[in-house]
Structure 1
Amino acid sequence: MADSSILIIYNARLVDSNIDSPGTLIIGDGKIRGVFLGECKTAKTAIMYASAFLAETPADTKPEFYDAKGMTVMPGFIDMHVHFRYPGQTQKEDLDSGLHAAIAGGYTSVVLMPNTSPVISDSDSAKKVMDEANDKNLARVFQTVSITKNFEGNDTSGLNNLQGKEFPVITEDGHDVLSAAVMLEAMKKAGEKGIIVSCHCEDPSLAQAAKPYRQRALSFMKQYGIPAGKIHIETPNVPAAVNFEIDGNLTRANSLLALAEDTATIRNIEIAKTAGCHVHICHCSTKASMDAVRRAKEEIALGNTSEGFDCTVEVTPHHLGLVGTDAPNIRALVNPPLRSEDDRRAIIEALRDGTVDTIATDHAPHTQDDKAAGAPGFSGIETAFAVCNTVLVKKEGFTLKQVSRLMSENAAKMLRLKAGRLAVDYNADLVLVNPDEEWIVNSENFASKGKSTPLEGKKLCGKVHATFFAGKQVF
């Protein structure tokens, strides 16, 4: 669709954080130009809704019509935490595969992590990735810059030339900054520039202590042909003692990694208070860490914190949907690990009471060889909506309006985007879903190069049928 053309989406159910109604959207110049609530099942009726807007357009303008066939139109999803592995790790993912995976999942804006090769540690490198990605005109891309140069943990000079408007997020994702003093220095710079510090909260020494237990488990898995990448594959001939060794070692590793997350979450929040910056807690997975975030938010609400301090938090679809204390999910290696049912319930209640700001995928594609060697993470951007809809809406009584706030609106606010709402003059970044359609996850159908998912073969409810970016259908 040309920029000057008009698109009318009709016969739709419109859902955002404020709306859940049959309706029609008028799209022009990449923006939402009209929102009309009420039944509209034909193009003839739709043109009546659009007549006032069309009267102000050139006489030869002929609108295009899109029949949503009763399905649900929502604001495009916005992901605060994505790995596209570009540059340098294109065997895992690249901009093309990553962007096509994003739009297949209904995502129209993504925030890319800097743990690439080389590490994205300065504005020029980040700008190059963003320009290349945005030239593809499939989705909006924000490339984060590392907190310290090359993740070496001591040099924050790469932050000096950043401006919050262009580079709203910095992060050391993949691990945490070891030195509290260096983190304080970085957070002070970020606070002055209005930049969000997105924290992978994990005490490095405790993470190192957990590593031998994971390696021991992986050695048994390799010896007995137990795949780390596709955990659904059954291996019935493994001796019980071996299964005990695998799961016992992973349990010990995960216990240390829970402590690593909890201590680092508290530390990073306290440093951000002193620095007066906006700290964003990545992939929060434990009850204790979520409680720390809740306390920080309560202090902010009471006005008992330093000027400039803010605290937001994301959770992932896999942490809200899966329990990792027993096989097979305990063998789905991811950082932070899949947690206990108590932790999962705490996350869901934090979503319910408004403590959680956004759901982010932590989409982390790997090759099967890398997974077998213990690489943590898996592909999740193409299954995220279905997991959230299945767990939150179908099982936990959430509304699609609440899901839209968590997957679109709140992240848009953090990134200062006029997106995430079905409202006039907002970006026409949209996703068309059928929230009642069931489907079976088959990673071979993923657009992502990463085919590892603990959801392989699982039935989910909620299917993405189309994605529009700036008014143009891209999926």
Structure 2
Amino acid sequence: MTLTITNIRRPNSETLESITLENGLIKGWNLPAEGEIIDGKGGTLAPALIELHAHLREPGQTEKEDLASGLAAAAAGGYGTVVSMPNTSPVVDDPAIVRSLIEKANRLGFARLRPAAALTRGQTGETLAELTFLQDAGAAMFTDDGRTNEDARVLRLGLEYAGSLGMVVSVHAEDASLRADGVMNEGAVSEALGLPGNPAAAEAARVARDLEIVAGLQAQDRPVRLHVQHLSTARALDLVREAKRRGLPVTCEVCPHHLTLTDEALRSFDSIYKVAPPLRTQADADSLLAGLLDGSVDCIATDHAPHTRAEKERDLLTAPSGIAYIELAFPLMWTRFGATLGLERLLDLMTQAPARVMGWPEPSLEAGAPADLTVFDLHTERTVNPAEFKSKAKFTPWAGESLRGWPMLTVVGGAVAYRREA
């Protein structure tokens, strides 16, 4: 299969060029047009985005999302590869489930799926899953995300075992006993609203514990790779920053919702703002942005977490946590922080950086590289209309906002996975 995309720009370039793709690879730039020809309409070409943290809800929770809707939404958001979380029904702790998810996703033709598998059986945190067999089946990483790893010894064993396989262990870093029944950030807003708070210390204490486990394994020359998910507090980021200075093999991600929203949003009592970890203060958000700028934060992930509208319309005490917005992540980040981060840095945080975290080859626009590409319109403002979402979760905190940076075309493996109609 051959495809040529014309009238496109490389990042930070004003020159219009064309690129030809053949057999799933980039054949070259400015060659005679071959095969299907698509007009890039002056957009900016970049490697397709990589998402390390998304909940696609299949198997067993398909009223919220499924592979078809979730991966279509990802492609519409400019993503070429998605790592899905294993907290489904049943839990993704069986090699047969991993294989079936990959096979189904390959048939769909949207974004590429790289399923994460559970670190422990049933995500109970008690007994390690069959990590070698899960890796052989195609699992991309191990994580009990959706649940916190309370047993330090089991996590240590998991890090050691996964490290021997060259695999990343990704953790939801919250101390469950400190979090308790908190439904939002503990602070002035939670006190004013009379709602149970989740303190920043819950995240920091767990990050500190996990980093000490990593330090102990490293001191014994054990290979280990820890990735901390969705950091939300300045204190936890400081701990990661210091661990990196010490040479510990740790990476971390932050999410656009923790950068663009704060606990002040909960004054509305709208459960659409209930997430785990919770929205924190503006000072925390500012610290996370500083971490993106100084390199302490490795990459951006969305923690795309769809629920039904009925679930999210419950009160704050009983509604589930999660925001679904994989289609908005790049436009949101580009509109809010493009001037601060710059295009090159933002693209790195959402393409090459996730690949580095995973130890995958870094995506490229050079000849011979895999043809996973996205064309962005960096200038035209479009209003966020949840009714147009590919995701089943057709509601969002950013409804009605005007954003720039919308994907126009996403190509995965040399084939069109998404093309904006208008």
How does the TM-score come out when normalised to structure 2? 0.90
- Distance (Å, rounded) in 2 between the aligned partners of 1:23 and 1:266: 49
Amino acid at match of 2:73: A
Query: 1:435 — aligned with what?
Result: 378
Partner residue in 2 for 1:280? 227
| Contact residue 468 and residue 474 of structure 1 kept, 8 A | yes
Residue type matched to 2:62 in 1?
T
Matched, 1:15 2:11: yes
Q: Does 1:361 align with 2:302?
A: yes
Could you tell me which residue of structure 2 aligns to residue 260 of structure 1?
A: 202
Which residue of structure 1 aligns with residue 220 of structure 2? none
Conserved 8 A contact 2:168-2:358: no
Once residues 266 and 470 of structure 1 are traced to their aligned partners in structure 2, the CA distance between those partners, rounded to angstroms, is 40
| Match among 387, 395, 400 for residue 444 of structure 1 | 387
Report matched runs for 1:269-308 at 5 Å. Answer: 269-275=211-217, 276-300=223-247, 305=248
Query: Which secondary structure state, in structure 2, belongs to the residue aligned with residue 382 of structure 1?
Result: coil
Q: How much does 1:163 deviate?
A: 3.2
Deviation sequence 1:3-29 (CA, Å, 0-9, x none):
3x2x2222211128xx78643322111
1:223-372 aligned within 5 A = 248-250=193-195, 252-254=196-198, 256=199, 258-275=200-217, 276-300=223-247, 305=248, 310-328=249-267, 331=270, 332-371=273-312, 372=314
* Separation in 2, partners of 1:245, 1:402: 35
Once residues 15 and 46 of structure 2 are traced to their aligned partners in structure 1, the CA distance between those partners, rounded to angstroms, is: 11
Q: Matches of 2:86 and 2:20 in 1, distance apart? A: 37
Shift of 1:324: 2.0
The residue type equivalent to 1:262 in the other structure is A
CA deviation after TM superposition for structure 1 residue 132, in Å = 1.3
- 1:426 partner amino acid: A
Q: Residue 50 of structure 1 aligns to which amino acid in structure 2?
A: L
Is the CA contact (8 Å cut-off) linking 2:132 and 2:165 kept in structure 1?
A: no
Letter in 1 for 2:120: T
Distance 2:361 2:334 in 1: 24
TM-score, normalised to structure 1, is 0.80
CA distance in 2, matches of 1:209, 1:370: 18
Structure 2 runs not aligned, ≥5 long: 218-222
1:390 match: 335
- What is the one-letter code of the residue matched to 1:283? H
- What is the CA–CA distance in structure 1 between the aligned matches of 2:133 and 2:404, rounded to whole Å? 45
**Could you tell me which of 94, 99, 112 is aligned with 2:66?**
94
Specify the code of the residue in structure 2 equivalent to 1:148: T
Gaps of 5+ in 1: 36-48, 55-61, 215-243
Give aligned pairs, total: 404
What per-residue deviation string (whole Å, max 9, x for no partner) do you get for residues 212-266 of structure 1?
A: x89xxxxxxxxxxxxxxxxxxxxxxxxxxxxx8895234x413x2x221111111
**1: CA distance, partners of 2:162 / 2:379:** 43
Asked whether the equivalents of residues 175 and 202 of structure 1 are also in contact (C-alpha less than 8 Å), the reply is no
Match of 2:111 in 1: 139
Superposed displacement of residue 164, structure 1: 7.6
For 1:353, the aligned partner's letter is D
Distance in structure 2 (CA, Å) of the matches to 1:126 and 1:23:
40
Residue type at the aligned position of 1:10: T
Could you say which residue in structure 2 is the equivalent of 1:148? 120
Task: Report deviation, 1:162.
Answer: 3.6
Q: Distance in 2 between matches of 1:329 and 1:406?
A: 32
Q: Secondary structure at the match of 2:351?
A: helix
For residues 355 and 165 of structure 1, what CA distance do their matches in structure 2 show? 33
Residue number among 13, 18, 21 corresponding to 1:27 in the alignment: 21
Tell me the secondary structure at the aligned position of residue 135 of structure 1.
Answer: helix
Q: 1:65 aligns with which of 28, 37, 42?
A: 37
Paired amino acid for 2:414: G
Instruction: For residues 352-406 of structure 1, give each alpha carbon's deviation from its aligned partner in whole angstroms, at most 9, with x where no partner exists.
Output: 1111111111000001221124110111101101111012114x2x221111100
> How far apart are the structure 2 equivalents of 1:292 and 1:246?
27
Q: CA 1:368/1:274 → structure 2, altered by over 3 Å: closer, same or farther? A: same
Q: Is the 8 Å Cα contact of residues 105 and 464 (structure 1) preserved in structure 2?
A: yes
Distance 1:165-1:122 versus aligned 2 partners, 3 A rule: closer
Letter matched to residue 203 of structure 1 = D
Q: Residue by residue, what CA displacement relative to the aligned partner does 1:165-184 show, whole Å, maximum 9, x if unpaired?
A: 93231111112111101110
Is the 1:265–1:289 contact (alpha carbons within 8 Å) kept by the matching residues of 2?
Answer: yes
Please give the alpha-carbon distance, in whole angstroms, between the structure 2 residues aligned to 1:23 and 1:245.
Answer: 53
CA RMSD across the alignment: 2.2
Q: Does the CA-based 8 Å contact 1:12-1:70 persist in structure 2? A: yes
The one-letter code matched in structure 2 to 1:131 is E
Secondary structure of the 2:153 match is helix
Paired residue for 2:52?
80
